[in-house]
Structure 1
């Protein structure tokens, strides 16, 4: 088989990512533009603004990535784009650009599942996990535990019943009057918090199964903050202590669920990916879990934890090399189950 060179485009939400992945040389170049400043004044992502910004930024980023990789556009053999899940307008922005370029360059294109991109992101590292493994996918919209036997061979073991872990972080930040995006702000403040001043519950660990729920924890956090304010204790230190207790609760809950999943599946390799996988406390708890089990935890590098083009380029390259591609009459899927993907 001739070497392939895949252009990857990510535009599912508020980050515009572009990358080039070579089947033999690996990742050649990647660029990323974040819309955080654009949405900050609204306290969250505004879908219409996100879509318009993707349209403005995509072609300049593609040109920059091609230039950084020191290749010619004629060298590109295929294109991958995020087809879902995500914001419909944002998805269509990236898909339309990708399909147009594929048509103009007469090369195949394939729609990539956003969460498959995250799941496979650790494959971009030198120390790659071998199949099979258990994957913990934690982001702003998803908290899932999955058994992975190969690309496209996914079995959902546990899911979030309400707020995902990242969503709970963001909502907690908003309740405490912290900045946007909220998750990193909670984690930053938590580093100054006193461990043990507050003890928060570990949701759903007292019942069997691998499903998760963080909505109640969010409410518990709010009630703790309101009680502190009522007593006249609304200091920055109290906020930090509450953030610390919240973060430890999430990290330990995820560790308990991952331990159960590994024992249930008889596996000892854990992949952790998605935006929340950058959290230091969560990594600390999961590393300790795997060290005790004499297993190994795998993570993407920090820049590939959040949305990026590199993970889409990699996932697309694997599917294109296996002969998959989509017709010109493309469709995006804001809701799309991982288990619906084909095995390659």
Structure 2
């Protein structure tokens, strides 16, 4: 069984968050270590996992603890002189603290709570004071830092509910995942989002699986097969269980329709078959850090932040045996 970082993406209204919650609950029900992160501009994953919609979120947003996150992750890395010098793309190096999916650390203590049996962190909502002055991608910078430093081991999962559409390609965050699950309705608009995402993903060798949703009959499946082809992994039918959940009643997972339970198991099997490519993970981390440094970060910092790249460090199993890596 592999360790996997998996993203859920799709057109708004496709059921992306609903299926992400079902997947996270499926893993937790198997007693597997899973960390779920809500990185959507609409913060609904907690409710989909079973939190009462009228109850305030039980976790503090990651964005409210960004300095704490940076200071912890930089550890004793001599290339990063202060937390203020870290940006969202700063990669780990020798001396950095690496994260495990389940461990005790100040980031998890502040920002991770159990919701419906799933450990959840959230980016935080796009607030009124952000309108016109901030980009939502600033909210997910903490997620990118966490994933850059996440050394997930066999049988461990990090699942991120991403913002709708192809917006994740506005940063290098899409390269942080071992597999991306695109939720697609049998509609022209939803297939259009798939085509846009697939065209971008192909250039970066992103492992992409498409899951059909809101399927009513065989013609819906044939429509998806015609337009998606081999990327179509499985599909979920219209569901009374899901409809009740969307109305605020999250029932035990055993009550999900058998056909949809089978689809969930098929998705989990595909995720488990994913092979992590730590060399590519490291290579793209360095590449997007260089791009961001050149585009804006060097000017903001008044220094060349590409010096933060440690060419001798590689993420992967070997990282835990390097004596200069702190906190693994």
TM-score class normalised by the smaller sequence? under 0.3
Q: Relative CO higher for 1 or 2, CA cutoff 8 Å, sep ≥ 6?
A: 2
Which of the pair has more CA radius of gyration? 1
Report the structure, 1 or 2, having the larger strand content: 1
Q: Normalized against structure 1, the TM-score is what?
A: 0.26
Q: Normalized against structure 2, the TM-score is what?
A: 0.27
